A and B are shown apart, each in its own frame.
Chain A
Amino acid sequence: MYKIILAFRYLVKRRITYLAVLAVAICVFIVVVVMTVLTGLVIDFRQKNHSFVGDCVVGTESLVGFAYYEDFVKILEQSYFVEGISPVIKSFALVNPVGSERNVGVEIMGIDAVKHSKATGFGKTLYYRKDNVSKAFKPAYDPNLLGCVIGIDLVLERDAKSRYPYGSGPTDIPLAISCFPLNAKGALAKADAGLVKTQTFYYSDNSESGLARVDGSMVYLPFEQAQLLCGMAGPVKRVSAIHIKFKPNVRLEAGCEEVDSLWQSFKREKADEKQAYLLEKVTVQGWKDYRRAYIAAMEKEQTMMTAMFGLVGVTTVFIVFVVFYMIISHKSKDIGILKSIGVSNVNIIILFSGFAFLVGLLGSGVGLFAGWLFLLKINRIEDWLFERFGFQLWDRTIYAIGDIPNQVDAKVLAVIILSAIVACLVGALVPSRQAAKQKPIETLQVTQL
């Protein structure tokens, strides 16, 4: 009992202890804020990628695409675990606003808007046709025209508060989109006038996926027209990929394994077909693997930040070590007194470890509360800083970030508190052991007073 009482009294009555508590609190505050924001950004980025891709993609990197997809779509439609299927054409094109001499290189994605919205989050990215996805490619100003959905950053510029200056409806802009169609062998196919196939589409809506690269380079076209433009609409039709969404109770890995198994059987069935060689380059990937190139960079940043905060943890240990060394040096007389009345070395270590535990608990509690409060107001603080001083953590005209993520993760908090307490215990261990080893007679001598 004396250990609890003394540890608590040392905490309350020694001013130097407040320094240790403050050091722990500041470290915890920094780690909580940065880890929450960074984790929030990574989670947000992953969610946006998941929403953009769906759960699983059967596809090829080749611009030629692969054939017999309709048969595989039928197989998928009969599968118990599939909720949405969307065949997709992917290629590159030049966009030329009719009447202008400006050409912009873009990526094109040919989709059936309804099917693609069932397989991915495409429908939610639209602005004008969000509630009526079937009309995504029908311009509001003339539904009979052939529409196209344009990545938001190709059309509009965000302001500093990450808002786009939407009009009441899409403007009547005809866009000539030109592609180099390829045949099944990968050679340039002959098109209308030479090797380039061009078709005019009308701006019907924007897509804001929240992925800067996608929103700044993607034009969505109706599936059939995209297939024609890319030379994939021959007697044996081809697509670039099939995006799949699993039913809610299906685990991602299990679903992907099922699709892969179906694909392998399908490939064997089609082995004797004329364009079976195109199936060899097709892979089955979960959304994480499919977008690995983009997600990995973000996750690497998170790992680096975590490592950096590991160093912050080391600094905390050192600060606590120094503070405890000072405290215990001041308390050497107490250690002598306690030993003279029969307190063991182990109990001396437990006493100071308990003291360290309290410092860690209180410091992390204070840091956590301050961090939580700061995160709660972080967006308002940033708004205020921007309005007052023009300062922004992330320039919204460059980064596709809306609000700064501030959702505190209970698991992350638990790990931070635990780490802070362990850091304090480690910091206090060496001085405690040294204190315990002291002979009472050394600390009770007159010269020690």
Chain B
Amino acid sequence: MNKDDFILRAEGVYKSYRMGATEVKVLKGVDLTVKSGEFVAIVGASGSGKSTLLHILGALDSPDKGVVAFDGRDLRRFGGGELNRFRNKMVGFVFQFYHLLDELSVLENVFLPVMVSRSVVGWLFGGRKRARKRAKELLAQLGLGERANHKPYQLSGGERQRVAIGRALMNEPRLLLVDEPTGNLDSATGNGILDVFEELNRAGQTIVMVSHDERIAQRAGRIITLTDGRIKN
């Protein structure tokens, strides 16, 4: 297989942080490939660098050394505007703590990525109507049709995570990056969320999920274990 056939490719990724006088090496040469339509789970102990790797894969952070390529294009070569467009259109993030904007309603949180990508004129003339329609459809699919006008603080943890999934899917990204999606939920609710990811994957969505729990990771098509900053084969 040609190396450009992967939707996501990481080669020799290193990352370290400075904690006071100490330099903590988090990633020590990670190599990883993800094919389109795959559901990959990255597991590892707390502090093994899973979330750091996920953030680097989604261009929320940059590696000290190494290459991360999306669709064969090296992310280091992306300019500021291109990186913003990449985060907006190509990837969708789902965080452990949902990270919804408290000032916006559920519906507004979901269509926020579309609003971000449009000018005021573009939004008011056409964009808004379409975005609202799609956001409502997503919320209905996620079982939150009745909660569209609620505020995030009025929802349960599971419902908030579904809203975060809706927001991540709003721009139909090619890659969904999920960070401990059930870490803050009880097991029944967590299973419901994992069902959603399985369903999305069956529909062709590429997903990279980070979890410390191997039982949760079992729901993915492939499991990668990260130990001491390296992929363990």
Interface residue ranges, A against B (CB under 8 Å)? 1-2, 4-6, 9-10, 13, 333-334, 336-345, 347, 439-441, 444, 446, 449
Q: B95 CB to closest chain A CB, in angstroms?
A: 6
Residues of B with C-beta under 8 A to A342: 84-89, 113, 116-117
Contact A441 B167 (CB under 8 A): no
Residue among A1, A5, A6, A341 making CB contact with B167, cutoff 8 Å? A341
Give the nearest-CB partner of A442 in chain B: B61
B124 within 8 A of A: yes
Q: A439-B61, A441-B61 are in contact. Are A6 and B103 (CB under 8 A)?
A: yes
User: How many residues of B are counted as interface, with CB atoms below 8 angstroms from the partner's CB atoms?
Assistant: 34
Contact B80 A344 (CB under 8 A): yes
Residues of A with C-beta under 8 A to B96: 446
B129 within 8 A of A: no
For the A-B complex, the count of residue pairs with Cβ-Cβ distances under 8 Å equals: 70
B209 within 8 A of A: no
| Complex-state Cα separation, A390 to B202, whole angstroms | 86
Residues of B with C-beta under 8 A to A333: 99
Residues of A with C-beta under 8 A to B97: 446, 449
Q: A13-B103, A344-B81 are in contact. Are A1 and B95 (CB under 8 A)?
A: no
Contact A340 B89 (CB under 8 A): no
Contact B87 A339 (CB under 8 A): yes
Give the nearest-CB partner of A338 in chain B: B116
Contact A337 B88 (CB under 8 A): no
Contact B104 A5 (CB under 8 A): yes
For B88-120 the 0/1 string (1 means CB < 8 A from A) is: 110001011101111110001000110111101
Contact B104 A341 (CB under 8 A): no
Q: A342-B85, A440-B60 are in contact. Are A2 and B115 (CB under 8 A)?
A: yes
Residues of A with C-beta under 8 A to B112: 2, 341
B55 within 8 A of A: yes
Give the nearest-CB partner of B93 in chain A: A340
Give the nearest-CB partner of A439 in chain B: B61
Main secondary structure of the interface of B (DSSP, over half): helix
B123 within 8 A of A: yes
Residues of B with C-beta under 8 A to A446: 96-97
Greatest chain B CB density within 10 A among A4, A10, A446 is at A446
Listed by A's residue number, 30 A-B pairs whose Cβ atoms lie within 8 Å are: A1-B115, A1-B124, A1-B128, A2-B112, A5-B115, A6-B104, A10-B103, A336-B99, A337-B99, A337-B101, A338-B116, A340-B60, A341-B87, A341-B88, A341-B93, A341-B112, A341-B113, A341-B167, A342-B88, A342-B117, A344-B80, A344-B81, A347-B116, A439-B60, A439-B61, A440-B60, A444-B99, A446-B96, A446-B97, A449-B97
Residues of B with C-beta under 8 A to A6: 101, 103-104
Contact A340 B104 (CB under 8 A): no
Q: A39 CB to closest chain B CB, in angstroms?
A: 40
Contact B120 A1 (CB under 8 A): yes
Q: B14 CB to closest chain A CB, in angstroms?
A: 16
Q: A9-B103, A441-B60 are in contact. Are A1 and B84 (CB under 8 A)?
A: no
Q: A6 CB to closest chain B CB, in angstroms?
A: 6
Q: B192 CB to closest chain A CB, in angstroms?
A: 23
Give the nearest-CB partner of A9 in chain B: B103
Contact B61 A341 (CB under 8 A): no
Residues of A with C-beta under 8 A to B84: 342-344
Residues of B with C-beta under 8 A to A441: 55, 60-61
Greatest chain B CB density within 10 A among A1, A5, A334, A439 is at A1
Told that A1-B124, A446-B97, A449-B97 touch, could you supply 16 new A-B pairs with CB distance under 8 A? A5-B104, A5-B108, A6-B104, A9-B103, A334-B101, A337-B99, A340-B87, A340-B99, A341-B113, A342-B85, A343-B116, A439-B60, A439-B61, A444-B60, A444-B95, A444-B99
